[in-house]
Amino acid sequence: MGKKSKIIEKEEVVIRFSGDSGDGMQLTGTLFSDTAALYGNDLSTFPDYPAEIRAPQGTVGGVSGFQVHLGKSEVFTPGDLADVLVAMNPAAIKANVKWTRKGGTIIYDQDNFTEKNIRKAGYEKDPVREENLDGYTIIAAPVSSMVKEALKDFGLDPKSVLRTKNMFALGMVYWLFDRKLDYTEKYFEKKFSKKPQIAQANKIALRAGYYYAETIEALTPVYKVSPARIAPGIYRNICGNAATAWGLMAAAEKAGLKLFVGSYPITPATGILEELALRKDLGVKSFQAEDEIAGICTALGASFAGYLAVTTTSGPGLALKTEAIGLAVMAELPVVIVDVQRGGPSTGLPTKTEQADLLQALYGRNGECPVVVLAASTPADCFDYAFQAARIAIEHMTPVILLTDGYLANGTEPWKIPEMKDLPEIKPPRPSPDDIPFMPYKRDEERLSRFWATPGTAGFEHRIGGLEKTIKGTVSYIPDNHELMVKLRAEKVNRVAEKVPDLNAAGDKSGDLLVVGWGGSYGYIMTAVRELQAEGHKVGLVNFNYIHPLPKNVREVFSKFRKIVVCELNMGQMAAYLRMKYQEFTYLQINKVQGLPFTSQEIKEQCIKILEDKLNG
Amino acid sequence: MDELRTFEYTPKDFKSDQEVRWCPGCGDHAVLNAVQRALSELGIPRENYAFVSGIGCSSRFPYYMNTYGFHGIHGRASAIASGIKTANTQLSVWQITGDGDALAIGGNHFIHVVRRNIDINILLFNNEIYGLTKGQYSPTSERGLVTKTSPFGTVEEPFSVGELVIGAKGKYFARTVDSNVSLSTQICIDAARHKGTSVIEVLQNCVIFNDGIHDVVTDKEVREDRTIILKHGEPMLFGKNSDKGLVLEGLKLRVVTLGNGITEKDLLVHDAAESNPGIQYMLANMRYPEYPVALGIIRAVSGDTYESAVEEQISIIREKSPVKCMDDLLKSGSTWVVE
């Protein structure tokens, strides 16, 4: 490996790969992050791709990106601004320059900076000058012509040759970060074991990029990010959707139940259904339904038949499932509804992230219709909260809505693999033989959950359904019975609070400002709070994962701070919910609805303004 | 214990303790009797039955059966039943539905359960009206029907249940009349034994909102001349005096009277097992007065069921895959060790 003249030692670094949606940027980013993870960095990634599979080539709308944040200590987010931007065309610069740190490095394919492409991206002549990128390290590499040259005697058609451009760029980045090529090379050998020529071409392009960067090294700073000090164990990279699927399967195994998923494909939730459909080896029955309603209704059927049943969707699909969730509340059957939130309302921004389904999850049904609502906060903890959602659904005989979002679903991070023996047992509430004749709405005294007798079990034949019933399962319009049942269903859900962990403030336990978040904004808020603390502010953080019912000690935690600010990617839904639940506090808000996650910096700046108000007043 | 149990039942064993609340004279009562009779003859343990319904008068049915039952929401019974049967393939799953529940709000689920050929038995009570909401037209109401929501007559064409089932690649379609308990019982037994989605259309009378809608073919005086009960392998003969039959003339069915050189041998022989639905399609669509209305098992073709294909795929992949439990999966693929 070449001697590196100008080495920048960094705690953390953010790199963004960006190009046309056909340029293979998602793969490039994934290969880079896997290599970084194997090296021992902590990391977090986020893909950012257009809704159209192939938007018009060369346009800003067609730009697909993949951001990787790696560090030598804990990394909570994919990062606010990129230190290194790889731009495969002028549109990639246009789309990403505002997300690139001032003075950062921009590598671009100068062969793609033709007059036509420059115009298409909305520039006159020279993107570098027009964007005023003087302070940046600019590396204009002739990527296209270099791969053509490297593969000229290879016998590949010109299109296939150009398809290796991303590997040339990746090779350059590997040199820049002093990483080995072996993981990527092995990937191609495996992926194209039946097409060795393609595998070889990609490897050649990768090496050509690496050596090209080495040759031009005098111009280039090299980033060094040492491995992170992280807990010993076996690790893997995992994205939120896979972690969700695995958490559900783990819960089924722990409960001794089989898993059924009834779902309809919808961005950005489809990955969960795809992951579960793969797992026939674990006996998962996946049912791709004719629509969202059939997705949850088949799941309810499977739940009635004794399966751990789940349905996965995004906001528009949750809306369609509304009536059937009401049926699940009334029938008191366990079912997990995963809502991978995206920008709304209506079709909204399918590939972008938002947290605006909270009130829909909490209240979007007819009648008094309480369900348990949980939210995951990192790609890897989607596993934990999917597991908990299933545990609560089964043990408390209730539908549970698990909220994740597009940012968690597609983002990845290294995950210390748990051992199944360390996960809690899940005990389905079975009736005993003494319960014959079976009364379907007789309840467990502690939890108030009913018992789960499933078809095929002799002596427990019973009828359930959406009409109000008595304890025996007889349809009843008696006024007092209805009120009693409404209250019992609500109290059953409230008692779940007895089985969820206390809220724990990170950072300071008391002080001037408590920053409150929920679900996926955790990483950004955490980073902001750490920085504020480092600057001497007395700031704490709580991030809610258990939203309904809320943990029992909320009041106690909140009362230790002078001010409370709720940060969420919506217009203030959690703030409204908390105002209703704990009226004695004043809730300030930080909101964003741009289809994008927060940046830590914007949270930090807002928090400083709030803190200064205090100092002034 | 199970081997000591016998599964001999009487219809009474399937009656629940709930008071039946359909209107006096409603056709549903007779269908309930037929189903309870059929179940008592099937030899399936009672706990293995699951009755599922949506919303509508007929959807109260599960409450009156002493079996497992799930009264769902409007139109979704096919989906709920699909989930039950896919999960537990050992169950005998029955969906009770009506023309509105199955063909209007539940139309999408209905065609898809039929297409997938999930082994459930669908009893579709067709009274060509909305009863529970008190008399609005349904997707099977004849064009021009005057109802509360069509005070000047409907301006839309009705669905034909059999046509829809065959169009959705259905493999089993039968038709009965509510008042003919013995025919309904026979069909239910046959449908229960058929592997795959069985759709049974019951011409059912709503005494309150559409009374007598099927009388033109079901009335005692005329029914033998205006309906034909099809039997697999037998000539298509009907009429009070067994003197009428069906023949194929060109590409169309035609009613003939025996005599004048026409004998039973000239009549079409019913083949419910023929996979090409051409003739069955014409039979299912026969309407009075041009034709007799076809009753009995019109189409019964064997084929793979969805749920058994799912189980088969699982068992093949289970055998091959190195992943046997979650711990295997968690450690599979790209992992690394931090010391």
pLDDT digits (tens, 9 = 90+) for A54-90: 667 888 888 989 999 999 888 999 999 999 999 999 9
Whether A392 has its CB under 8 Å from any CB of chain B: the answer is: no
**Alpha carbon of B3: minimum distance to chain A alpha carbons (Å):** 13
Phi, psi of B65 (to 5 degrees): -105, 130
Give the residue from B20, B329, B331, B339 with the most A CB atoms within 10 Å of its CB, the best one to mutate. B329
| Residues of chain B predicted below pLDDT 50 | 1
Q: Which residues are CB-contacts of B96 (< 8 A; sequence separation ≥ 6)?
A: B51, B52, B53, B58, B59, B61, B62, B77, B123, B125
Task: Tell which B residues from 12 to 51 touch A, by Cβ distance under 8 Å.
Answer: 16, 18, 45-50
Phi, psi of B277 (to 5 degrees): -85, 5
Whether B73 has its CB under 8 Å from any CB of chain A: the answer is: yes
* pTM, entire model: 0.93
pLDDT for A54: 63
Give the residue from A235, A246, A298, A321 with the most B CB atoms within 10 Å of its CB, the best one to mutate. A298
Task: Report, as an integer, the average pLDDT of A11-20.
Answer: 92
Whether A456 has its CB under 8 Å from any CB of chain B: the answer is: yes
Task: Tell which A residues from 327 to 346 touch B, by Cβ distance under 8 Å.
Answer: 327, 331
Whether B3 has its CB under 8 Å from any CB of chain A: the answer is: no
Whether A187 has its CB under 8 Å from any CB of chain B: the answer is: no
Q: Is B249 helix (H, G, I), strand (E, B) or coil?
A: strand
* A224-228, A393-397, A423-427, B101-105, range with the lowest pLDDT: A224-228
Closest partner CB to A465 (pick from B71, B109, B336): B71
Mean pLDDT of chain A: 93
- Chain B residue numbers with beta carbons less than 8 Å from the beta carbon of A298 are 79-80, 82-83, 86
Task: Tell which B residues from 224 to 263 touch A, by Cβ distance under 8 Å.
Answer: none
Whether A250 has its CB under 8 Å from any CB of chain B: the answer is: yes
Determine the Cα–Cα distance for residues A50 and A54; give it in Å rounded to an integer: 8
Whether B288 has its CB under 8 Å from any CB of chain A: the answer is: no
Closest partner CB to B47 (pick from A234, A237, A456): A456
For chain A, what is the radius of gyration of the CA atoms? Answer: 26
**Two tokens at B323?**
């992943």
C-beta of residue A543 within 8 angstroms of C-beta of residue A377: yes
Closest partner CB to B86 (pick from A279, A298, A323): A298
> Quick one: closest CA in B to A467, which residue?
B71
C-beta of residue B335 within 8 angstroms of C-beta of residue A417: yes
**Alpha carbon of B151: minimum distance to chain A alpha carbons (Å):** 31
pLDDT for A5: 55
Asked casually if ipTM beats, i.e. exceeds, 0.90, the reply is: yes
Q: Is the pLDDT of residue A431 over 70?
A: yes
Whether B149 has its CB under 8 Å from any CB of chain A: the answer is: no
- Residue A366 half-sphere exposure, CB side, CA atoms within 13 Å? 6
Number of neighbouring beta carbons within 10 Å of residue A148: 16
**Two tokens at A76?**
């909570």
Whether residue B76 and residue A324 make contact (CB cut-off 8 A), yes or no, is: yes
pLDDT band at A53 (very low <50, low <70, confident <90, very high): low
Whether B329 has its CB under 8 Å from any CB of chain A: the answer is: yes
pLDDT digits (tens, 9 = 90+) for A325-367: 999 999 999 999 999 999 999 999 998 999 999 999 999 999 9
**Alpha carbon of B323: minimum distance to chain A alpha carbons (Å):** 6
Q: Which residues are CB-contacts of B337 (< 8 A; sequence separation ≥ 6)?
A: A232, A233, A234, A235
Determine the Cα–Cα distance for residues A616 and A152; give it in Å rounded to an integer: 69
Whether residue B324 and residue A455 make contact (CB cut-off 8 A), yes or no, is: no
Strand (E) positions, chain B?
49-53, 68-71, 92-98, 120-126, 172-177, 198-203, 227-230, 237-238, 244-249, 252-257, 293-300, 336-338
Whether residue B69 and residue A462 make contact (CB cut-off 8 A), yes or no, is: yes
* A1-15, A247-261, A378-392, A449-463, range with the lowest pLDDT: A1-15
Give the residue from B316, B334, B337, B339 with the most A CB atoms within 10 Å of its CB, the best one to mutate. B334
pLDDT digits (tens, 9 = 90+) for A461-503: 999 999 999 999 999 999 999 999 999 999 999 999 999 999 9
> Quick one: closest CA in B to A231, which residue?
B338
**Two tokens at A547?**
């939203």
**Alpha carbon of B97: minimum distance to chain A alpha carbons (Å):** 15
Alpha helices, H only, A379-494: 381-396, 406-410, 479-494
C-alpha closest to that of A93 among A138, A51, A50: A138
Residues forming beta bridges with residue A309, ordered by sequence position: A260
C-alpha closest to that of A398 among A483, A335, A462: A335
Helix axes B28-42, B181-193, angle to 10 degrees: 50
Q: Regarding predicted confidence, which is higher, A45 or A49?
A: A45
Q: Is the pLDDT of residue A2 over 50?
A: no
- Chain A residue numbers with beta carbons less than 8 Å from the beta carbon of B334 are 34, 38, 236-237
Determine how β-strand A308-313 pairs with β-strand A511-518.
Answer: unpaired
- Chain A residue numbers with beta carbons less than 8 Å from the beta carbon of B5 are 458
Whether residue A301 and residue B313 make contact (CB cut-off 8 A), yes or no, is: no
pLDDT for A616: 44
Query: In chain A, what is the straight-line distance between the N-terminal and C-terminal CA atoms, in Å?
Result: 59
Whether residue A301 and residue B79 make contact (CB cut-off 8 A), yes or no, is: yes
- Chain B residue numbers with beta carbons less than 8 Å from the beta carbon of A465 are 53, 62-63, 69-72
- Chain A residue numbers with beta carbons less than 8 Å from the beta carbon of B329 are 246, 249, 279, 282
Task: Tell which A residues from 514 to 553 touch B, by Cβ distance under 8 Å.
Answer: none
- Chain A residue numbers with beta carbons less than 8 Å from the beta carbon of B70 are 301, 304, 331, 463-465
**Alpha carbon of A433: minimum distance to chain B alpha carbons (Å):** 14
pLDDT for A617: 38
**Two tokens at B320?**
């091959």
Q: Is A93 helix (H, G, I), strand (E, B) or coil?
A: helix
pLDDT band at A1 (very low <50, low <70, confident <90, very high): very low
Q: Is the pLDDT of residue A119 over 80?
A: yes
**Alpha carbon of B47: minimum distance to chain A alpha carbons (Å):** 5
C-beta of residue A100 within 8 angstroms of C-beta of residue A16: yes
**Alpha carbon of A211: minimum distance to chain B alpha carbons (Å):** 27
pLDDT band at A407 (very low <50, low <70, confident <90, very high): very high
- Chain A residue numbers with beta carbons less than 8 Å from the beta carbon of B50 are 304-305, 455
Percent of chain A with pLDDT over 90: 83
Q: Is the pLDDT of residue A51 over 70?
A: no
> Cα torsion for A311, A317, A320, A321, to the nearest 10°?
20
- Chain B residue numbers with beta carbons less than 8 Å from the beta carbon of A297 are 72-73, 76, 79-80, 83, 109
- Chain A residue numbers with beta carbons less than 8 Å from the beta carbon of B325 are 253, 282, 420
Determine the Cα–Cα distance for residues B166 and B164; give it in Å rounded to an integer: 5
Task: Report, as an integer, the average pLDDT of A122-136.
Answer: 91
pLDDT digits (tens, 9 = 90+) for A224-282: 888 887 789 999 989 999 999 999 999 999 999 999 999 999 999 999 999 999 999 99
